[in-house]
Structure formats: C-alpha cells, structure tokens
Amino acid sequence: MSSTPVEAKYYTKSVHAGMSPDPVAGAVTPPIYQTSTYAQQSPGVHKGWDYTRAGNPTRDALEIGLAEIEGARYGLSFSSGLAAEQAVMQVLLAPGDEVLVCDDVYGGTGRLFRNYFEKYGIKFHFIDMNDDEEISAKLSSKVKVIWVETPTNPTLKVIDIEKMLSYAKKVQAKLVVDNTFASPVFQHPLSIGADLVLHSSTKYIGGHSDVIGGAVMTNSQELYDLVKRSQFEAGSIPSPMECFLLHRSLKTLAVRMNQHHQNSVAVAEFLSSAPKVSKVYFPGLDHHPNHDVALRQMSGFSGMVSFDIDGSYEDVLKFLSRLEVFLLAESLGGVESLINHPERMTHASVPEALRKQLGIGPTLLRLSCGIEASSDLVDDLKHALDF
Ligand SMILES: *Cc1c(COP(=O)(O)O)cnc(C)c1O
C-alpha cells in the first residue's frame, strides 16, 4: 500500500466541491438559508425556490458538492442514511419484486427492509455475496435490486463490485452500493458501473459525530429524477443547518481520510502481532480473504479495524476499562477514535444465529480509528491489552 492513498485531486475537490461565492454578498461560504418559504413576484414567478422541502439553496450547494466528490452527475441529501435508503427502495421496488442483500448489511438497513418493505410483498434474500453458488441460486428475473455494502460491518468483508455488476446485468437489476465505510475518497462504485451510491453522511462525510445525514449519488438522470421526487414527495430532507455543516465537513474529507487510513494501517499492524489478540479483520492485511479485491477497488482502507480478544468477555471488559483514548460508543467515521462491542451494542438486534454465522461473538471489538496521532492510538491499545 502506498503511504499516501489519497489521490491528489481529492484534496482540491474536497475544498472546492459545490463552493461558489454567494451572488448577493460575495460570501465565500454559502450562507445558511434558514427559511421554509420564499417570496414570489407574482403567482408562480420566483427565483427558483418556492418551499424548502422542494428546494433550498444551502441544500443545493451541498448536493452539488456531494456529486462532485463522488464523481457523479447528480447528488441528493437526506435527513439520515436510512432515509436515503428508504427513498431509493421506494422508487426502485414494487410488490412481487425480489432483492439480493449482503447478509452482513448494516443492521438498521436489514431492519428497514424486514419491518417495512417485506409487508408490501417484497422478498429480500440475505446472502453471502462472496458465495457465487448462493447468488446464482437466488438470482432470477424477479430480482430488481442487488444491494451491497463494502467493506461490511463489523467483520470488514470486501465484496467485488464488478462481479456484482455482472450479476445485476444478467437480470437487469439495479446495483446499489452503500459506500459509507470506504468514503467517496477511497472507492468509486459509479465508475465501476453501479447505478446508485448511497452514504450515511453521519459517518465519514460528516466526520465530526455531530450530524445525522444521508446521501445518494447517481449518473442516471432518470434515477436522479425519481429519487429527487421521493425526496420532495416523501419529505426526508435535511435542514439547512445540517446541509451547511455537512458541506463544511466536505472541505476536510480528503485530509481526514488520509489520516484515518494511516491510523488504521498502524493499528491493524500492531494488533496483528499483539499478545491477547486472536484475530484481526482489516482488508489491508495480506491474509485478509478478499485482500486482492480490496486492492483492486479501494485506494485506501478508511479507519475501521475489528479484532477478537484472545480470552473471555470478562477479559474484554478489563481491556475496555483500561482504554483512555478510544471511547466506547456506537457510530464511526468521526475525528475521535471509538470502540464498539458489536454483540452488545451495534449488532444486538441481529438474530443470535445470524450473529454467530457472521462471527460476531463476545470477544469481537470494532475500532473506528480517528485522526489522532497513530502512536497515541497504538500506545492506548498496547497499554489496555496489558490487563
Ligand atoms: C450508519 C450506517 C447507515 C445508516 O445511516 P444513519 O445515518 O444512521 O441513518 C447505513 N449504512 C451504513 C454502512 C452505516 O454505517
């Protein structure tokens, strides 16, 4: 892996994406248009905005920025990652349709599909996307969407996007990629041919653990029009203030991703030879089962590293109580380093049998490496492992 995984152009793109001086005052930063409605000169005659659910200049600026950073023609923002997912599925699916979803999809995504879409007669097949036999067995003309998340959470499996595209093409299904873990800086599913890319902007795009948001990017005018219509008609829009904060965060995305990557590589290398660690999950390690795919489709590895403590749940508790920098909390992708116990926290709602199958047990921990000094993160883990 090169020591600077961020392509140079992303540093410039991040800073300038969607930024153009405000025409009223020349403000370098797009203003926060904290308004629900807009004055009209005469009925139906206005400056392009009539109601903030339909459109808002602060949101427009963010959406142009999101499209630019993802290398997409179009971008849309939502009030959360799940709201973005809901909008996408609302427009792509009808009763009788089937969907292939990776088995270790984000827990909230699985819950959304099971609790709200299944009752409309849509069938979801949760399968291991690295198992070609399983995919072929479920692939049919009824499948309208193939939904993948890569790398996956929490065991950081990598799914081959190009291969998924070939399956989608066989049955004319749409390929949707949840690109949250890789970020727009390190992985570009649209350039591989995915139809839609989706993010929980709450994570790397927001990056400061202070905003909930979602984003959808596409190169298809038809899909853009449909999802935008759902954004307006179903109404899961972000507020102008949140749009401003997310747009502000974009400026440092490349710089942050570089540091997240450096830190996760250092942490994964340390954990690989650390005592009391029985297994490390990180796509950047040679022994990761999908390392070759990761190298092909990702230019960097973000900040996520998972590992098993060689011991009992009591040992895990001892280890956690000794940490000083890593904070025990859900979520990921922020500037501060977090640690999560998937079995009891983020993945507690996943059925136990599925948890076991996915390798989520009492000794598994998931790290979100922030942007602190690598040496401080490694030292913190080293000290805590000496329980
Ligand atoms: C957090 C997350 C989501 C859900 O996003 P919210 O902003 O919490 O609604 C979806 N996918 C992935 C991969 C996530 O990490």
* 192-244: pLDDT as tens digits: 999 999 999 999 999 999 999 999 999 999 999 999 999 999 999 999 999 99
Kindly give the distance from the C-alpha atom of residue 42 to the centroid of ligand 1, in angstroms, as a whole number: 42
**What does the alpha-carbon distance between residue 322 and residue 377 come to, in Å, rounded to a whole number?**
13
Quickly state the pLDDT bin for 4 (edges 50, 70, 90): confident
281 carries an active-site annotation: no
Q: Count Cα atoms within 13 angstroms, Cβ side, for 292.
A: 1
pLDDT tens digits, one per residue of 39-68: 999 999 999 999 999 999 999 999 999 999
Can you tell me the mean pLDDT for 86-101?
98
Quote the pLDDT of residue 351.
86
Mutate to test the pocket of ligand 1, among 77, 199, 200 (most ligand atoms within 8 A of CB): 200
235's torsion region: left (phi>0), alpha (psi -120 to 50) or beta? left
**Residue 146: helix, strand or coil by DSSP?**
strand
**What does the alpha-carbon distance between residue 363 and residue 341 come to, in Å, rounded to a whole number?**
8
37's tokens: 């409605």
**What does the alpha-carbon distance between residue 97 and residue 228 come to, in Å, rounded to a whole number?**
22
CB-based contacts of 222, cutoff 8 Å, min separation 6: none
Quote the pLDDT of residue 267.
98
Q: Model's pTM, two decimal places? A: 0.97
Most confident of 3-12, 101-110, 322-331, 344-353: 322-331
**What does the alpha-carbon distance between residue 202 and residue 302 come to, in Å, rounded to a whole number?**
15
Kindly give the distance from the C-alpha atom of residue 67 to the centroid of ligand 1, in angstroms, as a whole number: 19
Quote the pLDDT of residue 23.
87
The sign of the torsion formed by the CA atoms of 63, 101, 157, 160 equals: negative
Q: What topology is assigned to 254-384 in CATH? A: Aspartate Aminotransferase, domain 1 (3.90.1150)
- End-to-end Cα spacing for the chain: 33
169 carries an active-site annotation: no
Q: Which regions of the chain carry the CATH code 3.90.1150.10?
A: 254-384
Q: What topology is assigned to 8-250 in CATH? A: Aspartate Aminotransferase; domain 2 (3.40.640)
The helix (run of H) or strand (run of E) holding residue 170 is: helix 161-170
Can you tell me the mean pLDDT for 150-167?
97
Give percent above pLDDT 90 in the chain.
95
Whether the upstream peptide bond of residue 151 has omega within 30° of 0, thus cis, is yes
106 carries an active-site annotation: yes
Q: Do residues 371 and 335 touch, judged by C-beta distance below 8 A? A: yes
Question: Which residue's CA is the nearest one to ligand 1's atom 1?
Answer: 200
Mutate to test the pocket of ligand 1, among 203, 306, 346 (most ligand atoms within 8 A of CB): 203
> Which atom belonging to ligand 1 lies closest to the Cα atom of 85?
10
Task: Report whether residue 160 contacts ligand 1, using a CB cutoff of 6 Å.
Answer: no
Quote the pLDDT of residue 350.
86
Per 3-state DSSP, what percentage of the chain is helix, strand, and coil (rounded to 5)? 40, 15, 45
Quote the pLDDT of residue 349.
84
Give percent above pLDDT 70 in the chain.
99
**What does the alpha-carbon distance between residue 278 and residue 258 come to, in Å, rounded to a whole number?**
28
Least confident of 1-10, 43-52, 251-260, 286-295: 1-10
**Residue 23: helix, strand or coil by DSSP?**
coil
**What does the alpha-carbon distance between residue 75 and residue 245 come to, in Å, rounded to a whole number?**
16
Task: Report whether residue 193 contacts ligand 1, using a CB cutoff of 6 Å.
Answer: no
Task: Report whether residue 106 contacts ligand 1, using a CB cutoff of 6 Å.
Answer: yes
Q: Has residue 382 got a pLDDT over 80?
A: yes
Quickly state the pLDDT bin for 2 (edges 50, 70, 90): very low
Question: Which residue's CA is the nearest one to ligand 1's atom 2?
Answer: 200
203 carries an active-site annotation: yes
Quote the pLDDT of residue 186.
98
Quote the pLDDT of residue 354.
87
Q: Which of 178, 195, 308, 380 is catalytic?
A: 178
Whether the upstream peptide bond of residue 275 has omega within 30° of 0, thus cis, is no
The helix (run of H) or strand (run of E) holding residue 380 is: helix 374-385
**What does the alpha-carbon distance between residue 114 and residue 116 come to, in Å, rounded to a whole number?**
6
Tokens 């405000």 belong to 22
Quickly state the pLDDT bin for 1 (edges 50, 70, 90): very low
17's tokens: 């994406």
Average pLDDT, the chain: 96
Tokens 């989520």 belong to 360
Task: Report whether residue 109 contacts ligand 1, using a CB cutoff of 6 Å.
Answer: yes
Kindly give the distance from the C-alpha atom of residue 23 to the centroid of ligand 1, in angstroms, as a whole number: 35
Q: Which regions of the chain carry the CATH code 3.40.640.10?
A: 8-250
